[in-house]
């Protein structure tokens, strides 16, 4: 078992984090690449050319890599690290998660709104419950996660969730079962590790009930 309740799968590629020194499945890390002009850039989609530099999807690990000059050491060359690098990673992960939920919605595997989400939960069609960070706690407390590891996330704002559904704001959303949902789950876990919430909490709310 790895961070965030992620079970190591047979054949799951592993990489070493330059900040912690730990080897873990790469789905729990962020890939970085060095541009031709020597700038470190996040490679959220893992498509940029060149040797990848990997850092655990934890805000503390990212800050350590930046503050201790670990990118230059890993690249074995002088590099420029943007001051906004950690924020850029967070923004990239949030966009990937929003886009993923949008894809699930278009495929008929995601719904939004209290009543629709409640219906899915009641019929056990929901694999994951998403609730907005800035939504009413009273309203959110009336819905319960479907159960299972990584079945509840509170890591996107109402506006961000709204983008996934073509609305201004969404407080409650649910995703059905399927491969796309599992990819979204991994993206949500990574964002939970990187996003800094109010009160200094950097982990987000991720309930992993069994």
Does residue 118 share a domain with residue 44?
Answer: no
Task: Answer with the one of 32, 53, 83 that is the final residue of a domain.
Answer: 83
Give me the pLDDT at residue 191, please: 97
Does residue 188 share a domain with residue 92?
Answer: yes
**pTM, two decimal places:** 0.86
Question: Two tokens at 186?
Answer: 């991994």
Task: Answer with the one of 27, 51, 83 that is the final residue of a domain.
Answer: 83
User: Using one digit for the tens of pLDDT, what is the confidence trace for 144-193?
Assistant: 999 888 899 999 999 999 999 999 999 999 999 999 999 999 999 999 99
Domain tally, the chain:
2
Across 11-15, 46-50, 168-172, least confident range: 11-15
Does residue 60 share a domain with residue 158?
Answer: no
User: Using one digit for the tens of pLDDT, what is the confidence trace for 119-147?
Assistant: 999 999 999 999 999 999 998 999 999 98
d(CA 121, CA 146): 6
Question: Two tokens at 180?
Answer: 């796309």
Q: Are 157 and 169 in contact (CB under 8 A)?
A: no
Task: Answer with the one of 83, 104, 125 that is the final residue of a domain.
Answer: 83
Range of the domain at 182: 88-207
Give me the pLDDT at residue 138, please: 92
Judge whether residue 63 has pLDDT over 70: yes
Eight-class DSSP state of 47? -
């Amino acid at each position: 078992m790895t961070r965030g309740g992620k079970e190591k799968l047979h054949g799951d590629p592993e990489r070493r984090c330059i900040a912690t020194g730990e080897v873990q499945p790469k789905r729990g890390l962020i890939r970085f690449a060095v541009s031709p002009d020597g700038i470190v850039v996040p490679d959220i989609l893992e498509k940029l050319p060149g040797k990848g530099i990997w850092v655990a999807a934890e805000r503390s690990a990212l800050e350590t890599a930046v503050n201790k000059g670990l990118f230059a050491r890993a690249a074995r060359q002088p590099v420029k690290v943007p001051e906004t690098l950690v924020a850029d990673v967070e923004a990239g992960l949030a966009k990937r998660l929003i886009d993923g939920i949008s894809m699930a919605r278009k495929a008929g595997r995601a719904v939004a709104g209290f009543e629709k989400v409640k219906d899915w939960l009641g019929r056990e069609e929901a694999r994951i419950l998403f609730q907005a960070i800035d939504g009413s706690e009273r309203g959110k407390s009336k819905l319960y996660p479907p159960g299972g590891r990584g079945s509840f996330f509170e890591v996107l704002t109402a506006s961000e969730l709204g983008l996934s559904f073509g609305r201004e704001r969404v407080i409650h959303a649910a995703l059905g079962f399927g491969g796309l949902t599992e990819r979204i789950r991994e993206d949500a876990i990574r964002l939970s590790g990187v996003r800094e919430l109010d009160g200094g909490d950097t982990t987000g709310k991720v309930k992993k009930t069994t």
